[in-house]
Structures are given as structure tokens and as C-alpha cells.
């Protein structure tokens, strides 16, 4: 019986977080409330309160749930691929697919969350900052592993990996933003061309990378 109650509680938690992630991606984390979520899902407010305790805890749990979704959509599909710039490009492709496919209705969850909380100190901003830093660190790690695998051409000056990662992230986040504002998938193609141009410029074997990104189209 105890196991059954725990599983019901876990299922309710998953249901609540699925709803809060979608809401937060379009209306912001600040728009979440225990009462609203309870009403939306036909749950008791006291039951939702028992799971999360406060609005701030609900917001933090929502950010962490979004991290898990991002990892499944972007990181996991390419995790076992061999180190190299082709893997870095595949990671970027997965990110752009995650954004354009609207895994979250508001595009990239972390882009919108950062814009909402970047100037508001506190535990929620700290959680968002950790999530974004973890993604940047992971991308830098993949670039360093590519370097160790001999994927970078020899130069007098070594490739500035943090700078390259920053530029890649900037391009895909601008594509995310503009695609939402203009409902235009060509933003991803522009970002993809920019990313491929940067990767091919440092690649020991540019031919291992495509010359152009795939076309993105409006879903039927």
C-alpha cells in the first residue's frame, strides 16, 4: 500500500511538472502558482502543496524537469557517437530540432527562463544559471574531446574553445528567438550555416562536415 501511494505521488508530480514546463515556456515561471496548477489539472491545492511546498520550490522543480527533457532530446541521441566535430554538429542539429519541433511550446525553455530571471537574484535564477552553465560546459567538453581526437587543424594559436562554444550557442539561441518572433524556420538554416562555417574553419578534415545544414520547414 505504501508503494502504491508513493507511485501515485510520483505520477502526480510528473503530471504537474509536464504542465508547469509547458506553461513556463510560454507564460514564464513567475506565472506558475500551486492554485492554478491544481485547478488546471483537477487536483486539490493541498495535494499539490504537499508535493512542492511553495511556489519557489515548484519553479525550481520545473527547471530541473526541463533539464531532464533537454538531456533526452538533445544530449542522449548523440552521446555514444565518436568524439569529433561531426558529433558537435550533430549536437547542434539536435538542439535546433528541439527548438523548432517545439518540444516546449515556447521554444527553448532555458532561453525564455533566463530572459525572465537574469536580473532577479535568488534560488530560481541560480537553478537556471546552473542549467545553462552545464550545457555550455558540455559543449566545450565535446569540442575539447574533438581536439584530443585530432579533429582540429594545426595552427600557431590553439582554438579558443570557450569562445567557439559561446559563438555556437549565440547562433542557435538567436535562431530560437527569431523563429518564435517571426515563425520562420529559415532562422535555423542561417544559424546552421554560421555554425558549420566556424567548425569547418578549424577542422582538420572539413569534408567530414556537411557544407550546408538541412532545410527546416513549417510542420504541415
- Domains in the chain, CATH or no CATH each: 2-208 (1.10.357.10)
pLDDT score, position 5: 67
What does the alpha-carbon distance between residue 151 and residue 82 come to, in Å, rounded to a whole number?
11
Residue 219 has pLDDT above 70, yes or no: no
Q: How confident is the model at residue 157 (pLDDT cuts 50, 70, 90)?
A: confident
What is each CA distance from 180 to 32, 54, 187, 188, 211, in whole angstroms? 22, 31, 10, 11, 26
Taking only the tens place, the pLDDT of each residue in 95-139 is: 999 999 999 999 999 999 999 999 999 999 999 999 999 999 999
Closest to 62 (Cα-Cα) out of 109, 98, 129, 7? 109
pLDDT score, position 132: 97
Helix (H, G, I), strand (E, B) or coil at 203: strand
Amino acid at each position: 500500500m505504501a508503494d502504491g501511494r508513493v507511485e501515485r505521488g510520483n505520477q502526480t508530480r510528473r503530471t504537474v511538472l509536464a504542465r508547469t514546463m509547458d506553461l513556463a515556456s510560454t507564460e514564464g515561471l513567475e506565472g506558475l502558482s500551486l492554485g492554478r496548477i491544481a485547478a488546471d489539472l483537477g487536483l486539490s491545492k493541498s495535494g499539490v502543496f504537499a508535493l512542492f511546498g511553495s511556489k519557489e520550490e515548484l519553479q525550481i522543480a520545473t527547471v530541473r524537469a526541463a533539464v531532464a527533457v533537454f538531456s533526452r532530446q538533445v544530449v542522449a541521441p548523440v552521446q555514444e557517437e565518436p568524439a569529433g566535430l561531426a558529433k558537435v554538429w550533430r549536437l547542434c542539429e539536435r538542439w535546433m530540432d528541439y527548438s523548432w519541433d517545439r518540444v516546449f511550446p515556447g521554444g527553448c525553455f532555458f532561453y525564455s527562463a533566463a530572459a525572465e530571471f537574469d536580473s532577479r537574484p535568488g534560488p530560481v535564477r541560480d537553478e537556471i544559471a546552473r542549467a545553462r552553465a552545464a550545457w555550455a560546459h558540455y559543449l566545450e567538453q565535446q569540442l575539447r574531446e574533438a581536439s584530443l581526437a585530432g579533429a582540429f587543424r594545426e595552427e600557431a594559436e590553439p582554438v579558443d574553445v570557450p569562445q567557439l562554444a559561446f559563438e555556437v550557442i549565440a547562433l542557435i539561441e538567436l535562431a530560437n528567438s527569431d523563429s518564435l518572433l517571426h515563425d520562420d524556420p529559415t532562422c535555423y538554416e542561417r544559424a546552421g550555416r554560421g555554425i558549420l562555417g566556424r567548425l569547418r574553419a578549424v577542422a582538420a578534415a572539413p569534408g567530414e562536415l556537411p557544407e550546408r545544414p538541412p532545410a527546416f520547414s513549417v510542420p504541415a
